[in-house]
Chains A and B, each alone.
Chain A
Amino acid sequence: MAGLTLKSLRKSYGEVEVIKGVDLNVEHGEFVVFVGPSGCGKSTLLRMIAGLEEITGGDLYIGDKLCNAVEPRDRGIAMVFQSYALYPHMTVYDNVGFGLKLAKAPKDVRDKKVREAARILQMEHLLDRKPSQLSGGQRQRVAIGRAIVRQPEVFLFDEPLSNLDAALRVDMRMELSKLHQDLGATMIYVTHDQVEAMTLADKIVVLNAGVVQQVGSPIELYQRPANLFVAGFIGSPKMNFVDLTVEEIGTDTVTVSGKDIGPTTVPADPTSLKPGDTVTLGIRPHDLLEQSSGNLAGEVSLVERLGNETNVSLRLPSGASWLAVLDGDHELRIGQSLPLTFAPERAVIFDKTGTALHPR
């Protein structure tokens, strides 16, 4: 039993193409997260899978069935909306059982399934209430319960946690994770929050402007981002970037230097490079270390002392703004010059098209 397959999926609104050919394979039982900035098309893609948006081009397979022309209710999917979309005039019981009622399921079957879903989500005591009498987290649960009751092949989540406050979000994240383990169902989850993506996903799909940037596990995306976009999107705080010139090519290294950084040899795939080329070097804030004999230095512009670590905003000689996160507490003055270094293996080199040149 397969999960989900997208083949060259396209979506246009009139002349404007918003999804530009997406290929994706989702295994049964995988938790896949679509992540990307606003407007990247992640919600549109989800809605195309749900059947709420027409597919302009390409094929969608749910299970093994070609579903382009299939009605949402026959696709074996269930969806949890960002605003939960609970029917305000119905009780929780009727909300959860609405689909079954429409399908004319016998009353006792309906009752059994609704109560089972309520049990899984620990909301049996809420069944007689109306949505307006529930808290955000409770409504969330009812929305999930409505989805569970459909016993779908694929669960679709459209930014379900973005309406919750921070503390609740953390709790619900863990509950969702547990739910996934318990049900073992395929789940597709859309969010703009990369922390949610990193913590929940088996596989992350990073989207930008309707194009898939990279598909991989959270750690893969963190350690080997495919391009500048993914590198800058995944990981908080953002990766630092600087443009440098290639000085020398090695077998699997590249030596780069520039106004801000002295000559540094970084492991990379040098095949497409020659000396004199401009490349971008990326290094994460956590990977910068204070060292008096470091190969780069910046002027401190802002210091945030958090106790266990210190966030330092720096201005580099070329004018670029960088962020360093140093372990422990460092007392630094604004305006002072801070010498830094980093382990070359932690750096990533990007060519002028933005593609990452990881060592082979």
Chain B
Amino acid sequence: MTKLSSRLIGVAAILVSAVVFLVPFAFIIITAFKDKQQAALLDFTWPNGFHLWSNIVEVVTTRNWMMVTAFINSTILTVASVTLLVIFAAMVGFVLARRKTRFNGLIEFLILAGLMIPPAVVPTIWLLQGIGLFGKLHGLILIEVAYGLPFSIILYRAFIATIPRELDEAAIIDGARPLDVFFRVILPLLWPVTVTNIVVQSVGVFNDFTNPLYYLPGNANATVQLTLYNFQSQFNTSYNLLFTNILLITIPPLLVFLFFNRHIVAGMTAGAVKG
């Protein structure tokens, strides 16, 4: 391939990708700057005036500051579920990698099943109601943990295999009990994988729509995804507000992306190449 044609392809690729991937985001941003009338045109014209701030204020204060509640809920949900996920999955991955028991095959099968089988939603609601966790944030936290365990365990198991068993043994001789070995030796060494796991799971839980929809009905507990969905009817003709909402909830993933892009990519390709 000649230099010129490869350059042309390069330029073409940039242009095409710009159009395809950036224009929707540009649209979101531009519409968020507009006022109600101009936004209703749904076109790509430049905003007349800077309405972003007033849009934000209106979105945030609407329905008694529901967005703020939603953000708080989403944050609690994400932080709590990811924290539990990291610790519990690392514990399982650790023992799974180190100890060969006859249950290992069964456990592997259950993990694989978790990746494939769609959760049975109505029975889950029935169960949650039975134990009094339906419609409660901590119920949803546990759900997110349950659904996130298979991926996290696989991630940890693969990584723990790279920590030599001799470190465990040296710690045992030094007098470490199982919890000491896990928290003082293994977990610190798992930090790279933990960061990846945190990042991947956080984005996933924050963007989760289905599970809050099923398990967290009611406005007091809504997450940002639910409020966005619900605001569709409210902002029916106020596209500027709707897109301001979208812009606002895109900011956390954007921040994560800017700081942790490497980790996300590493996490999502972990094990993918080896199949």
Contact = CB atoms under 8 A, between A and B. Distances in A.
Most chain B Cβ neighbours within 10 Å, of A81, A103, A146, A150: A81
Most chain A Cβ neighbours within 10 Å, of B164, B174, B175: B174
Contacts of A87: 167, 170-171, 185
Interface in B140-187: 164, 166-167, 169-176, 180, 184-185
Main secondary structure on B side of the interface with A: helix
Contacts of B176: 73, 102
Contacts of B173: 50-52, 72-73, 77-79, 99
A229 interface: no
A174 interface: no
Main secondary structure on A side of the interface with B: loop
Contacts of B170: 79, 81, 85-87, 146
A360 interface: no
A150 B176 CA distance: 13
A87 B169 CA distance: 11
Interface of B: 164, 166-167, 169-176, 180, 184-185, 188-189
B172 A72 contact: yes
Contacts, number: 53
A217 interface: no
B172 A85 contact: no
B172 A73 contact: yes
A87 B184 CA distance: 10
Nearest to A149: B174
20 contacts: A50-B169, A51-B173, A52-B173, A72-B172, A72-B173, A73-B172, A73-B174, A79-B170, A82-B166, A83-B166, A85-B164, A85-B166, A85-B167, A86-B170, A87-B170, A89-B188, A99-B175, A102-B174, A102-B180, A146-B174
A88 B175 contact: no
B166 A81 contact: yes
Nearest 10 CB-CB pairings of A with B: A99-B174, A73-B175, A85-B170, A85-B166, A102-B175, A89-B188, A72-B173, A81-B166, A98-B174, A79-B173
Contacts of A52: 169, 172-173
Contacts of B171: 87, 98
Contact of B189 (A50, A72, A89): A89
A181 to B, nearest CB: 24
Contact of B175 (A85, A86, A89, A103): A103
